[in-house]
Every structure is written in structure tokens, then in C-alpha cells.
């Protein structure tokens, strides 16, 4: 964007949002507004106005278990249910911000199926004006010389990267478009059942950052990757969402 247009950043947790000021300064970003944490009224003013929305979703953090193997023993069913409820709330909130023709990126650092592709499917059921954007299309738009890497679960829609395949932590990216062209891949018709492939870890590395820039076509996104939390519960993501968009 070259410091044109407008970026908005939001997090429900003040402590999670604090590092963004130094990151924006380091990246030379001068066109960003950081909203007050937890200020729902400020977000409401942006409903239906955002070209791009990025959700750094609250999750169990299972994608970093290779570096914090003890954390998996602290994950409980109750903790997972809490994260799933937060993800639903965050996605519902984010979807209302996207204007017709805009796009939404949902990102987790989880390897658990309920936290990755399933929230995207629920989004499309709750907001039928949204549809999946297959990530290989974005790779082709970016005109990379290399062929697109194989998504860890073999999906042609969402991008998953694993420590084994990419030497990275586990992350998942699901891209959706408001009033998409005509992509119904993976969406069930009445009476039709769908099944979930078992997601494996995905990493937000340089290629994914480049792909995300292609996702916009114009928008440059700085250091939006969040490192693991230092809390002792193994839950590396508090109830939060990071939204970057252009109004």
C-alpha cells in the first residue's frame, strides 16, 4: 500500500496489542490506526467497510508443540471448547466488517481439525455471501517461478504447512471472499455430506506472507505473525483477534 489507504489493528487484549506499536514503527508504517482494546463500538463503525480483514484467531497453540511438547499435556477438552467458542465469536465479528467484494483471512497456529477448516465451513453456512478462495489461485496470481507447495492435508482450498514438509511450526490459513466468483469447492449441497481431512501444521513464513500480499493484490502486510505466549497453560492465544484492513 506504500502508506496509502488506511489500516486498522484491533485486539481484545491490551497486552497482546502492545507490541504492534514497535512493529509498525520498525516497518515504517504510517497509515495504521490502532483501536482501543475491547472497544466493540469502534469495530461496529467499520462494519461493511473493510476491503481485507485478517483474523489471527485465538487457538490452542498446538502448532508449536514441537517447541513446547509439555503444552500438549495441559490441553483439556474444556480449554478446546473455550477456544472454539472464541473462534466462532471472532469470525462472526470479522465477517461483518468485510464489504462486498472484500476478503477475509482466518489464521491459526493449531493442528487440530476443529480449529482450522471447520470454522471456515461454519462461516460459510452462517454467512452464505462468503465462499472459499482456493489458495493456489493466489499463488498463480503472484506469478512465483516455483510450483505451489503441496498443502499438508492435500487440500486444494486451504493451506497447511508442517514441520516435516516445511521445517516450521504448525499453522493454518483459510481465505474467504464476500460474494465470491463461483467457487463452491468443498461446500455441501442439501443432503450432501462433507468430510474433514486431518489437518497438519501450517507455518506463516515468507512464502505465506508473499501469498497474503497476492491475496490483496496491493496491500503490504508487515510483521503480523505472533509469537507463542509465555503463559504456563499451553494456551498460546488469548481471546483476541487482529484485524488489518483498508477502509
Helices 206-216 and 135-142: crossing angle, nearest 10°?
90
Known active-site residue 195: no
Given the residues 59, 109, 172, 195, select the one marked as catalytic.
109
b/e for 62-90, b at 16 or more Cβ within 10 A? bbbbeebeebeeebeeeebeebbebbeeb
Task: Tell me whether strands 130-132 and 171-178 are parallel, antiparallel or unpaired.
Answer: antiparallel
Report in angstroms the alpha-carbon separations of 105 from 145, 176, 210.
24, 6, 14
| Beta carbons within 10 angstroms of residue 10's beta carbon | 26
Instruction: Tell me the CA end-to-end span of the chain in Å, nearest whole number.
Output: 12
All three cell numbers of 150, joined, read 503441496
All three cell numbers of 30, joined, read 504510517
Helices 117-126 and 77-95: crossing angle, nearest 10°?
40
How far apart are alpha carbons 107 and 171 in whole angstroms?
7
Query: What three-state secondary structure class fits 98?
Result: strand
Q: Are 170 and 120 in contact (CB under 8 A)?
A: no
Residues designated catalytic = 109
Amino acid at each position: 500500500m506504500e502508506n496509502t489507504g488506511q489500516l486498522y489493528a484491533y485486539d481484545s487484549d491490551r497486552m497482546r496489542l502492545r507490541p504492534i506499536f514497535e512493529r509498525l514503527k520498525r516497518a515504517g508504517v504510517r497509515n495504521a490506526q490502532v483501536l482501543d482494546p475491547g472497544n466493540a463500538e469502534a469495530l461496529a463503525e467499520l462494519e461493511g467497510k473493510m476491503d481485507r480483514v485478517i483474523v489471527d484467531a485465538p487457538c490452542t497453540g498446538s502448532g508449536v508443540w514441537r517447541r513446547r511438547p509439555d503444552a500438549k499435556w495441559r490441553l483439556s477438552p474444556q480449554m478446546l471448547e473455550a477456544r472454539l467458542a472464541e473462534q466462532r465469536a471472532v469470525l462472526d465479528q470479522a465477517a461483518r466488517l468485510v464489504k462486498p467484494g472484500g476478503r477475509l483471512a482466518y489464521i491459526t497456529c493449531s493442528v487440530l481439525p476443529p480449529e482450522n477448516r471447520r470454522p471456515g465451513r461454519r462461516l460459510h453456512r452462517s454467512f452464505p455471501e462468503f465462499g472459499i478462495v482456493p489458495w493456489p489461485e493466489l499463488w498463480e496470481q503472484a506469478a512465483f517461478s516455483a510450483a505451489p507447495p503441496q498443502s499438508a492435508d492435500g487440500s486444494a482450498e486451504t493451506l497447511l504447512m508442517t514441520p516435516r514438509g516445511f521445517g516450521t511450526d504448525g499453522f493454518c490459513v483459510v481465505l474467504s471472499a464476500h460474494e465470491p466468483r463461483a467457487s463452491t469447492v468443498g461446500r455441501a449441497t442439501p443432503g450432501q455430506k462433507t468430510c474433514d481431512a486431518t489437518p497438519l501444521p501450517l507455518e506463516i513464513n515468507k512464502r505465506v506472507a508473499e501469498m497474503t500480499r497476492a491475496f490483496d493484490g496491493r496491500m503490504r502486510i508487515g510483521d503480523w505473525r505472533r509469537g507463542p505466549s509465555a503463559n504456563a497453560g499451553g494456551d498460546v492465544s488469548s481471546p483476541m483477534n487482529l484485524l488489518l484492513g483498508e477502509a
